[in-house]
Amino acid sequence: MCFMRNLKNIFQQVVFLFFTLLLSANSFAHHVLGRPAYSLNEDSNTPPSMQVETQIGNYFVTYMIFPAFPKPGEKGRINIYASRIDSGDTLASPITFLVRDGGWFADKTEEQLGTQDVYDGVYRQGFVFKEKGSYIITAKFEADGEPYSIDFPLQIGESSSMIPIGIALGSIVLLLVVVNIVQRKRLMREKILDSRSPS
C-alpha cells in the first residue's frame, strides 16, 4: 500500500514537472533575443543603425534607418514618424526623400530617392547604394503652407573616419617639422653672423 502511494506521488510529480516545462517552453518560444517573433520580418530583423528624435517647427519627428549596418548592394529602409507637437496628429502630407554625397569634398547635387505617403502613421522609403561612403538624406515636406526640411547622415559600409583624423595629424606633424627646420636655419644664421662679427 505504501509502495503504491509513493508510486502515485512520483507519477503526479513527473506529470506536474512535464506540464510545467511544457508551459514554460511555450511561453518563451515566440521571443528571439528578447524581441517578439511576430514583430520580425525580412526587413526588420535587426535594430536600426540610427534612431533620432527631433523637433522641427510645429512637428515632432522620429526617423530610423534599417538595417543596423547597411552595406553596398543591400536593401535598406528609412522610417519617419511625424506628428504635431500641440495635438499629436500624424502628418498627412507626402514626404520627398533626397540624397547627396556627404564627403568633405563631394559634389553637393541631390538625387531624389522617392516621394512617400503616410501608411499606418509611418513614412517608409527604401534604398540601395552601390558604393560605400557617407551620404546625407534629406526629407522634405510641406505643412500648414510652410516648407520643412530634415537632414540626417547615412553611412553605407565601413566608415573611413580615420582619413580626416589622419589628415589632421599629418598636417600637424608637417607643420611642426617645417617650424623646426625654419627655427634651426634661423639659429644657424644667427650663429654664423655672431661668429663673423668682430668682438
**pLDDT tens, 119-152?**
988 999 999 988 888 888 999 999 888 999 998 8
pLDDT of residue 29: 42
Asked whether the predicted pLDDT for residue 166 surpasses 80, the reply is no
> Cα–Cα distance between 156 and 74 in angstroms, integer?
9
pLDDT of residue 98: 93
3-class DSSP assignment, residue 138? strand
Looking at per-residue confidence, does 52 or 159 come out higher? Answer: 52
Query: Which range has the worst mean pLDDT, 4-13, 67-76, 129-138, 187-196?
Result: 4-13
- Would the pTM count as exceeding 0.75? no
Looking at per-residue confidence, does 56 or 13 come out higher? Answer: 56
Q: What is the mean pLDDT of the chain?
A: 77
Amino acid sitting at position 149: S
For 102, counting Cβ atoms within 10 Å of its Cβ (0-12 exposed, 13-18 middle, 19+ buried), the class is middle
pLDDT of residue 94: 95
Percentage of residues in the chain having pLDDT higher than 70: 68
Q: How far apart are the first and last CA of the chain?
A: 128
> Cα–Cα distance between 77 and 113 in angstroms, integer?
11
What does the DSSP assignment read for 134-146? EEEEEEEEEETTE
CB neighbour list of residue 111: distance below 8 Å, 6 or more residues apart: 98, 99, 100
Mean pLDDT within 44-54: 69
Q: What is the pLDDT of residues 87-121, one digit of tens each?
A: 989 999 999 999 998 766 667 788 999 999 999 88
Class (C level, CATH) for 38-156: mainly beta
Asked whether the predicted pLDDT for residue 77 surpasses 80, the reply is yes
> Cα–Cα distance between 184 and 23 in angstroms, integer?
82
* Domains in the chain: boundaries: 38-156, 161-199
> Cα–Cα distance between 124 and 88 in angstroms, integer?
20
Looking at per-residue confidence, does 63 or 16 come out higher? Answer: 63
For residue 191, the Cα-to-chain-centroid distance in whole angstroms is 60
- Grid cell listed for 134: 557617407
> Cα–Cα distance between 137 and 106 in angstroms, integer?
14
